Amino acid sequence: MRKLLVAVAAAALALSACSSEGGGGSDGNVTITFWDNNGGPAREPIYKELISRFEAANPTIKVEYVGIPSASVQQKYDTAIAGGETPDVGGVTTSYLAHLVGQEALAPLDDRINGGALKDKLLPSLVETVRQTAPDGKLYIVPSSANMDIIWYRTDWFEDAGLEAPKTWDEFITTATKLTDTAANKYGYTIRGGAGSVFQLITEAYAYSGVDTFFKDGKSTLNDPANAELVDRVADLYKKATPEADVNNSFTQMIAQFTGGSVAMMHHNLGSYSDVTKALGDKVAAMPLPVGPSGKRTVVPNPTDGFAVFKNSEHQDAAWKFAEFLTSAESNSYWNEKVGQIPANTDVRGAAWIDQAAHVKMALGVLEDPTTVLVPAPVYLPQYSSITKTDSEPQYQKVLLGELSGQQFLDEMANKLTEAQKEWEDRK
């Protein structure tokens, strides 16, 4: 028995000895690993192209691309951090940035950004969003791309009905009702009632109410009566101007309904650009979320995408070089053009493709408009995602089914958020 144990131990030692991976060779070449946080066939070729450009410009650095399925990326990072096996560079969005910073996994990038070519070249609103996400106000990712909530609509349906894209919520609701013909299986709007619903609902509520801050004197403004009014008005549309199946709609079903041709308007974000245009071609266009009775345009920004350098990396300089390259005007322009999102690098503003990409131009216009007020959601709260998803999504379904009022629903969520915010302030 003892012999066997010794043999096993020896084998284990031998195995672990073989595995010590050498990133830096004696010839000065290094290999860095890059994790794409939204890996998949759609984005892999874009990154592969950028990597080959980077390697051509930096012959001593090799980049190994790993695409992580977006649904599991947070768990994958957590496991990697716990096991000490993090990549050198990784795509990270502000939605789980605070979590990674909390585990002290990332290297702050302020000095690197300010000491290099990216100084003053990044959209201030995005930099601010990133800064606010970290408990210490440092930049742990270099922002590369942003997304915005918009409403995709069928230009052909609007033309046939002689309607124009609605600018206010009142117009929006009448338009949705007008475009509905339940007998012909045509609906004016589709509500996201399943996974991811509440995040969208919050952006709608603030767009409607014009409330311009998420917390006032430490209390969540989410249950503002004007926000509740919007929730009730949307719930009122359910089944009247939207398909009945909406109560369980996640992104996939929602988009299937819209691209399948039975729905006139869908609230999502720029990210679905390739899906909707692939299916509907030029019969689809984007409009900003309508404005409420206050007349103010308030936007709850989407998570900002960026690149992080991991603290554990043995090649932080090379890693930063790659992150900086990905955010340079040329790469940033190339990437965002392909995925149809808002580029973070302000030098891209003048690129020719932005003039042609009406939806990006529209979104940039909203972000640049001095009257637009950004109301960042407190994604830095560790409980934020469990409060808005696990706790609230089933409750919202009750609202849609008429079992709960909008005010009750928001009160409940606001209380939890206020409490979480207080805890967070106390710990700071």
Partner 1 sequence: MTETLTRPPVDTPPPPRPTKRRRRAVAEEPGKPWMIHVPLVLYLLFTLIPFYWMLVFAVRPSGSTQLVPWPISLEHFDTVWNDIGFGIFFYNSVVMGLGVLVFVTILSVMGGYALARFKFRGQRVFLLAMLCSQFIPGAMMLIPLFVIFKGLGLLNSLTGLIIAEVAFQLPLSLILMSGFIRNISVELEEAAMVDGCSRLRAFFAVVLPQLKPALVAVGSFAFIGAWNQFLFALMFATKQDKFTLPVGLSYTLGEFNTDFGALAAGGVVAAVPVVLVFAVVQRFLVQGLSAGAVKG
Residues contributing to the site for partner 1 (CB under 8 A): 12, 15-20, 33, 35, 38-43, 64-67, 69-72, 75-76, 79-80, 82-85, 87, 252, 256, 260, 269, 271-272, 274-275, 278-279, 339
User: CB–CB of 35/64 below 8 Å?
Assistant: no
Give the CA distances from residue 132 to residues 110, 361, 373, 415, in Å, rounded to whole numbers and listed in that order: 14, 26, 16, 22
CB of 63 to partner 1, least distance (A): 13
Strands 215-216 and 284-288: unpaired
Smallest separation, CB 139 to partner 1 (Å): 23
Closer to partner 1 by Cβ: residue 273 or 320? 273
Answer yes or no: are the C-beta atoms of 285 and 359 closer than 8 Å. Answer: yes
Q: Which is nearer to partner 1, 172 or 199 (CB)?
A: 199
In whole angstroms, how close is the CB of 251 to partner 1 at the nearest point? Answer: 8
Which residue pairs from 41-44 have beta carbons closer than 8 angstroms and sit at least 24 positions apart in sequence? 42/274, 42/339, 43/67, 43/339
151 vs 235, which CB is nearer to partner 1? 151
The amino acid at 122: L
Smallest gap from Cβ 167 to partner 1, in A, equals: 26
- Give min distance, CB of 36 to partner 1, in A: 10
Run of H or E residues at 277: helix 273-280
DSSP class per residue in 157-193: HHHHTT-----BHHHHHHHHHHT-BGGGTBEEEE---
- Comparison of 229 and 393: residue with beta carbon closer to partner 1: 393
- Considering beta carbons, is residue 16 or 371 the nearer one to partner 1? 16
Q: How far is the CB of 31 from partner 1 (least distance, A)?
A: 12
What six digits make up the tokens of 109? Answer: 């990038």
Instruction: Pick the closer one to partner 1 by CB: 75 or 294.
Output: 75
195, 170 contact by CB (below 8 A)? no
User: Min. distance of Cβ 132 from partner 1 in angstroms?
Assistant: 22
Least distance CB 17 / partner 1 (angstroms): 8
Query: Which positions ≥6 away from 71 have C-beta within 8 Å?
Result: none
Distances (CA, A) of 345 to 120, 352, 353, 367: 9, 15, 14, 14
- If the CB atoms of residues 17 and 352 are measured against partner 1, the closer one turns out to be 17
Q: What sign does the CA torsion over 298, 250, 179, 280 have?
A: positive
Give the nearer residue to partner 1 in terms of CB position, either 14 or 117: 14
